[in-house]
Chains A and B, each alone.
Chain A
Amino acid sequence: MTRFLALSNRKGGVGKSTVSVMLAHAAAAWARQRVLLMDLDTQCNASLMLLGGEGWEKASRAGHTIADYFYDRFDKVAGDESTYIVNNVGDVAHPRTARGRVSLLPGSQRLEDIQGELYLKQSKKDLHADAVSLLVRGRMKRLMRHFGMDYDLVILDCPPGLSFAAHAALDMADHIVVPFRPDFVSQFALDRVALLIERVENAEQLASIAFPDRRYACLPNCLTGAGHERLLIDQIALDHPLLTTRLPVLESIARAFDWDESKKTMEQKYTEALPHLRKLHTEVFSGGQMRAQSA
């Protein structure tokens, strides 16, 4: 059964793409899963980490991006979506089997424009604006779900903003990891993304949902060890479920994503970040955090 995991936060620069790629590698290498990473962010950072600049440009020129997929298939009932996928990406050595590999639906800088175009196209159908939004989101959701049959795990690397694609991803994800940097503004960003994920309107309504029933968990990232981080994490823990994994600022994580085509083991790639990644992988996938996809 395919599981859909989204990495989301309305704040930028919190590590969504980095953690998406790390979890994709971990699930493929350690759990031997067939993993698809869907890059919904127009910055395309996850795509650049997994393909390099030239590889991403090649995919982009060939029309193998998420923007092309949404645009081409929006009005079609079915089709072979695998043509948009780039297989066996990244610089972690994978086994010569279908399992244990990472595939990518590359991101596109045109995704925002495409969403606008799709909205305008649908709005000509004489529908109310809200109905058009729902229609576009719903169709994107179905298009993303198409990949469910071919993969064990689909990771949705969401953009910071609230595009149709981001809404669709949050709607359909079985579980959502919300990375954050413990700073003052992050508290607000977490509160807001939590309202969106749980489909409630204010803090009181959110508080009425018990932590185990929530679809998301927050991941403190880029920790430096400063005392104020501890304060903020404790404050955030009152309102939001937190993973026990903490990702510190590590040179090895930054270095791991310098583009390099030579294949390497997980140990060689992540060096001293490896224990943190192991803990994160275990917690997200084995600790009951990921719920099976609902029908």
Chain B
Amino acid sequence: MRNTKALSGAAQDAYFRRVLKAQATLSEEAREQVVRSLKRDIAQLRLRREPLPDGAIPNPPVAETRLAAAVAPSAQPDAPPAGTNFDPFSPNIVVLLRTAGRAAVLAALAAIDSQEQLRLLAREQRLSVAPNLTSLDELRGAILSAAERRIANRMAAAS
């Protein structure tokens, strides 16, 4: 028996909705927006029949894997703040936006359900967000916009 099964069309949409529904902090509107983006970009996905156990998922994105191996021992990245597992440098929002698109960024940010952590991520990744934003969705949107501005800035300068 094959270890994976293919999903497309309505079954795929239902899968996206089911996964996103688990993100309690994501509003219905944001959820639908992500689903629309995913539908646009993904024609078919393959689902494992037996989900991998926790910790077995290969974590870093490709670019990070390639680079991490080469970082000198004396130049290891900052450790996350003490007392928490949250790493404000991961995911790299600009890289994720450029490689996987807006939906992927929103999905990644949806997994962060603390305003403090979102603000920390924005600050450490130099993504400017207004201090008066209070809702998590607004913060996520502002982070995404800031990343888009960063990319646009760079493209404009390289001409």
Binding site for B on A (CB under 8 A): 184, 187-188, 191-192, 195, 201-203, 206, 223-231, 233-235, 237-238, 242, 244-248, 250, 276
Contacts and interface: CB of A to CB of B under 8 A. Distances in A.
A195 B63 contact: no
In this complex, which of A206, A233, A276 has the most chain B Cβ atoms within 10 angstroms of its Cβ? A233
B158 interface: yes
6 contacts: A184-B126, A203-B158, A231-B92, A245-B70, A246-B71, A248-B75
Contacts of B92: 230-231, 234-235
Given A191-B158, A202-B159, A237 B75 contact: no
B99 interface: yes
Interface of B: 63-64, 66-72, 74-78, 88-89, 92, 94-95, 98-99, 124-126, 154-155, 157-159
Contact of A238 (B63, B69, B157): B63
Contacts of B158: 188, 191-192, 195, 202-203, 206
A235 B71 contact: no
Contacts of A244: 66-67, 69-70
A234 B63 CA distance: 6
B74 A248 contact: yes
A231 B69 CA distance: 15
Nearest to A202: B159
Contact of B94 (A195, A224, A226, A231): A231
Contacts of A242: 67
A261 B75 CA distance: 31
Nearest to B79: A227
A246 B74 CA distance: 10
A230 B159 contact: no
Nearest to B95: A234
Contacts of A276: 72
Given A227-B89, A227-B124, A228-B89, A235 B72 contact: no
A250 to B, nearest CB: 7
A8 to B, nearest CB: 17
Contacts of B157: 188, 191-192
B124 A224 contact: no
Given A235-B95, A244-B69, A228 B75 contact: no
A245 B69 CA distance: 10
A187 B126 contact: no
B126 A224 contact: no
A227 B72 contact: no
A191 B154 contact: yes
B117 to A, nearest CB: 14
B102 to A, nearest CB: 16
Given A187-B154, A244-B69, A224 B125 contact: no
Given A195-B158, A227-B78, 14 more contacts: A188-B154, A192-B158, A225-B74, A225-B76, A225-B78, A228-B125, A230-B89, A231-B92, A231-B126, A233-B67, A238-B63, A244-B66, A248-B72, A248-B74
Contacts of A233: 67
Given A188-B157, A202-B158, A203-B159, A237 B74 contact: no
B77 A230 contact: yes
B74 to A, nearest CB: 5
Contact of B77 (A206, A225, A245): A225
A202 B92 CA distance: 25
Nearest to A201: B159
A228 B126 contact: yes
Contact of B74 (A230, A238, A250): A250
A234 B124 contact: no
A234 B72 contact: no
B110 to A, nearest CB: 20
Nearest to A248: B75
Contacts of A248: 72, 74-75
A238 B67 contact: no
A235 B94 contact: yes
